[in-house]
Amino acid sequence: MKKKYLLGAIAVVVIGLLAACGQTDHSTANGEEKKTIVMGTSADFPPFETRDNNGEIIGFDIELAKQVTKELGYELEIKDMNFDGLIGALQADTVDFVASGMSATEKRKQSVDFSAEYHRSGEMFVTLKDSKIKSMEDLNGAKVGVQLGTIQEEGAKKLAESTKIDIKTLNKVPELIQELKSKRIDAVYLDRTVAEGYVSELGLAAFKDESSGTPGMAMAFPKDSEIVDKFSKVIEEMKKNGELEKLEKKWLEKE
Ligand code: ARG
């Protein structure tokens, strides 16, 4: 019995040391002790990640990431980049993890590891209110905007095999919405929760993509990262103790 405890204790210390080593690259230069962990995101995706009027990055993912990393004893640093660059940033170790409304697809699982899922959304097509396009069947001949590197980009490409659509790919979601408002495109293909936000805020219209059965959103980590399980554990705890629901109420539910 005693030996078991001792081994356990040694393991804890060793794992702790290893974890500390892994994170030192990112600690701040001013010599303070708290481990800094770097998160990558594409802050163009309200209500998950966006910038407020002061330029500060806020949103559901941001608050979730803050809570999880705080629970795990980290200081959180956020790097804002294009969505398309996030997986590469994980692979190049320039960020420790990603929270960016990223859907945990099988394809991405070949390059990164995912935490437990924290939100499930589905997809929608956003149009102008007076648009004649009211369902998937009306998309024939339409110009459809998607964000580079997203599952919607892939989905649109697949759709183009059966429906005649023109795909316009851009880096940032607000640019897509701008294109829609100035009628350079007819529809924007987006995660439902994000689409609904734009619809209610800007008086747009939208319809569901009934065909898509996409996986939920999760945080992403470099392959074989040692911290992914710790993150998942905290996320699962937050599901049980109602903290996640609180965040959903605050950020994702429209009045
Ligand atoms: N859920 C979609 C995907 O994983 C889109 C995510 C876009 N996220 C963002 N922050 N712009 O491909």
**Is the shortest distance between the CB of 114 and ligand 1 below 6 Å?**
no
* Number of other residues whose CB lies within 10 A of the CB of residue 111: 13
When pLDDT is cut at 50, 70 and 90, the band that residue 95 belongs to is very high
Q: Which CATH number fits domain 4-119+215-251: 3.40.190.10, 3.40.50.720, 3.90.220.20, 3.40.605.10?
A: 3.40.190.10
When pLDDT is cut at 50, 70 and 90, the band that residue 32 belongs to is low
Q: Minimum mean pLDDT among 23-37, 82-96, 120-134, 224-238: which range?
A: 23-37
**Is the shortest distance between the CB of 121 and ligand 1 below 6 Å?**
no
State the pLDDT at residue 26.
45
State the pLDDT at residue 250.
97
Q: CB-side exposure of 144: number of CA atoms within 13 Å? A: 28
| Most confidently modeled range among 5-19, 81-95, 203-217 | 81-95
Burial classification of residue 105, based on how many CB atoms lie within 10 Å of its CB (0-12 exposed, 13-18 middle, 19 or more buried): middle
- Chain mean pLDDT for the chain: 90
Cα-to-centroid distance, 15 and ligand 1 (Å): 33
Q: Kindly report the pTM of this predicted structure.
A: 0.86
pLDDT digits (tens, 9 = 90+) for 122-148: 999 999 999 999 999 999 999 999 999
**Is the shortest distance between the CB of 50 and ligand 1 below 6 Å?**
no
Say which CATH superfamily domain 123-208 falls into.
Periplasmic binding protein-like II (3.40.190.10)
> Which of ligand 1's atoms lies nearest the C-alpha of 214?
1
Domain boundaries, the chain: 4-119+215-251, 123-208
Q: Residue 228, Cα to own-chain centre: how many angstroms?
A: 15
When pLDDT is cut at 50, 70 and 90, the band that residue 2 belongs to is very low
When pLDDT is cut at 50, 70 and 90, the band that residue 16 belongs to is very low
Residue 30: is its pLDDT beyond 90?
Answer: no
When pLDDT is cut at 50, 70 and 90, the band that residue 31 belongs to is low
Cα-to-centroid distance, 21 and ligand 1 (Å): 31
Instruction: Determine the Cα–Cα distance for residues 129 and 1; give it in Å rounded to an integer.
Output: 70
- In the DSSP assignment, the letter for residue 139 is G
State the pLDDT at residue 34.
76
Using only C-alpha atoms, the chain has a radius of gyration, in whole angstroms, of: 20
When pLDDT is cut at 50, 70 and 90, the band that residue 24 belongs to is very low
**Spatial CA neighbour of 190 closest among 152, 157, 225, 232:** 152
Tell me what the mean pLDDT of segment 24-35 comes to: 56
Residue 243: is its pLDDT beyond 50?
Answer: yes
When pLDDT is cut at 50, 70 and 90, the band that residue 210 belongs to is confident
Do the first three CATH levels of 4-119+215-251 and 123-208 match, i.e. the same topology? yes
> Which of ligand 1's atoms lies nearest the C-alpha of 172?
11
> Which of ligand 1's atoms lies nearest the C-alpha of 153?
12
